[in-house]
Structure 1
Amino acid sequence: MLDKRLGRRQVLQSTAALVGAGALGSAWTGPLFAQGKLEKPKVTLAVGGKSALYYLALTIAEQKGFFKDEGLDLEINDFAGGSRSLQALVGGSADVVAGAYEHTIRMQARGQEVQSFALIGRGMQIAIGIKADRADKVKSAADVKGMKFGVTAPGSSTHMLLIYWIAKAGLKATDVAAIGTGAGASVVAAVDKGEIDGVSQTDPVVTMLEQQGAIKVVVDTRTMKGNMDVFGGALPAASLYSTSDFVKANPNTVQALANAIVRANQWLQKATPDQVADTVPAGYLLGDRELYKKAFVNVKDVMSPDGLMPDNAPETCLKFLTTSDPAIKGDTIKLGLTWTNDFAKKANEKHKA
């Protein structure tokens, strides 16, 4: 134990020595270098479909104790999809959301300021698949009129990708039915029971259904190349976001959250599939560890390495939204208010300290 009588310089030197000796387990500098007293140590975070690889950095930060290292007492409430977690933020039952960046743009269009401050996914990481027994009849998006698709929740990113895809073929959102199936084993069950004709989902479910031969993937944004092919650039996906008022009123708390997520992002860049599978809750593996590992490899390319928003990614997202949602007028959106790299930059500096 460090003697409380030691001066600041001695404390820092002693901590550095412990880090160098491996006593702290990593080069992360820890709370001695924290940005100041947390305005709100107990934080409630909402997420939609936490078991999905789409939110893997959140799970890693939780399981590895990164939030606790920042002095945070984090309560995570898991909902069926991203639209539900956004509702929790708007309703006041959540302080922060781990959800798609696109919701910050949607909320601004509705007159509410919401800001993303730490990116989890730099690519969308969602795929659309058609049930194998119907896939041969689908030559283009125009052929899915009247079909039922399993999405995490209506209004979520999985739903928006579906709408975007069919809109480019001249169909309306009402030409297909979006059925909320969540993001885990319930999706597989819906396919098996014939309740849906296709899915717009994240991994590991997509990889599982592919491996079973249950679906044929027709749109795939699980790689950066896939994002380029579908959107023409990187489309920012999961991120930590909150109301602009919360971010302004609680900068130290927001910084602590960003620190934990960036640390998890960096851990994932070096982690092996086995290390990831060992860290997540057993239920996330869907009963097939090897499949989960394969799914992680499939999507690792689109996981953010540093929590930073890529250049031009907000513009790509806005274009995606204006195509899929006529209510969003691109010329009225101030993208600069929907995200900030300030906290992620400081988090990366902290890691290098």
Structure 2
Amino acid sequence: MKKIKRIMLLSCGFLLFLTACNNQEETTIKLAEVTRSLFYAPQYVALEKGFFKEAGLNVELQTTWGGDKTMTALLSDGADVALVGSETSIYVYAQDSKDYAVNFAQLTQTDGTFLVAKEPKPNFTWEDIKGTTFLGQRKGGMPQMVGEFVLKQHDINPQTDLDLQQNIEFANIPGAFVSGDAEYVQLFEPTASTFEKEGKGHIVASFGEESGHVPYTVFMAKQSFLKENDAEIEKFTKAVYKAQQWVEAHSAKEIAQVIQPYFEDTDVEMLAASIDRYKSQGSFATDPILDESEWSNLKDIMQEAGELPADVPYTDLVNTKIAEEVIGNKE
């Protein structure tokens, strides 16, 4: 009888242990992404493959459509973490914000836009842009600053050598290009490839290949959030790193199949073609560390565009300790 009671007690204890484990509450992280783009494939992989869940995190994703709106969400606590261009953290810091945003995990390391021409340009050269109407991105944002940086590298003055239009909202740029008179536009994937397939445009150059490595899209959080939720941020970064390694090790087709739920209106083959463009030019960072040379390149691009408000030190706005610990302790 004593043996039976002992077995029953052990069984009950084991069941209570399993129940307690299963009932552990996940920590919710509110994540705001600046736009919905294949450029952020590793993020969607982390969500779809359950890497955040494995880390004990419930990540709630919202798309905020624009750098200014994304930073407003972050600074007003509408989001805990923002996926946005790292230049936005410089703008906030320069405004003497007491609780400014700090970059802690890099997702992409090149520009993600492509130059799309309305008409076929089989022998395209950058000189072809001179004297044309160019539909650019929002002034002060990374796509526009990189675009101008690349044009200047090819001895093209964006203000005098072409008709540069910057008055269209980010989400409306593709439609404005199709219906308007602009001869060139700067587009992300999969829109660029979709336009090419539908005969609405033709990809003639990559701004990512032209501009080199830069911390283009980065996960950031306010100083206070990083300090008060250091364990959760480490878990978040670990999931991101796991997704980065997964993307590096798998084909564009496999990645497309995983993340298609985020791009339901685009077929897998088109997604794969777009992802392959990004993989081939090294757009996806393979680890979350934002290094100092990339930060310097960012400031050079901003300075060239006349948008650098202050020479912000790398050590003030970049935290690599979390990513370094994650990589050092990888399983």
Structure 2 length as normaliser, TM-score? 0.79
Which residue, 73, 79, 83 being the options, matches 1:88? 73
- 1:211–1:89 CA distance, 2 compared to 1 (3 A): same
How far off is 1:274 after superposition? 2.5
Amino acid at match of 2:117: I
In the TM superposition, what whole-angstrom CA distance separates every residue of 1:167-211 from its partner, at most 9, and x where no partner exists? 6633449962221242xxx65544333375432222122222234
Pairs aligned (count): 306
Q: Is the 8 A contact 1:61 1:261 kept in 2?
A: yes
2:193 to 189, 192, 207: 207
Q: Which residue of 2 aligns with 1:250?
A: 229
Q: CA deviation at 1:68?
A: 1.5
- 107, 113, 132: which is aligned to 2:92? 107
CA distances 1:221-263 after superposition (whole Å, capped 9, x unpaired): 34xxx1xxx33x4112111111222222221121111111111
What is residue 321 of structure 1 aligned with on the other side? 302
Amino acid at match of 1:127: F
Q: Does the 8 Å contact 1:124/1:237 carry over to 2?
A: yes
Structure 1: segments with no counterpart, 5+ residues:
7-30, 32-36
RMSD after superposition: 3.3
Correspondence for 2:293 among 288, 312, 334: 312
Give distance in 1, aligned partners of 2:128 and 2:301. Answer: 19
Corresponding residue of 2:64: 79
Deviation at 1:103, TM superposition (A): 1.9
**TM-score (structure 1 length as normaliser):** 0.75
Residue 326 (structure 1) shift = 4.0
Residue number in structure 2 paired with 1:237: 216
Other structure's SS at 2:111 match:
coil
> Which structure: larger Rg?
2
SS in 1 for 2:263: helix
CA distance in 2, matches of 1:99, 1:239: 6
Partner of 1:46: 32
Q: Is the 8 A contact 2:121 2:204 kept in 1?
A: no
Deviation at 1:273, TM superposition (A): 2.2
For the residues of structure 2 that align with 1:133 and 1:41, how far apart are their CA atoms?
50
Cα separation, 2, equivalents of 1:241 and 1:250? 13
Segments of 5+ residues of structure 2 without an aligned counterpart are 1-10, 15-20
Which one is further off, 169-178 or 102-111?
Answer: 169-178
Q: 1:327 to 1:345 in 2, by over 3 A?
A: closer
Residue identity over aligned pairs, in percent, reads 17
- Name the amino acid aligned to 2:61: I
Which moved further from structure 2: 253-262 or 198-207? Answer: 198-207
2:127 is paired with a residue whose SS is: coil
Compute the displacement of 1:219 (Å): 4.7
**Residues 32, 62 of structure 2: 8 Å contact kept:** yes
User: 8 Å contact 2:121–2:202 — kept in the other structure?
Assistant: no
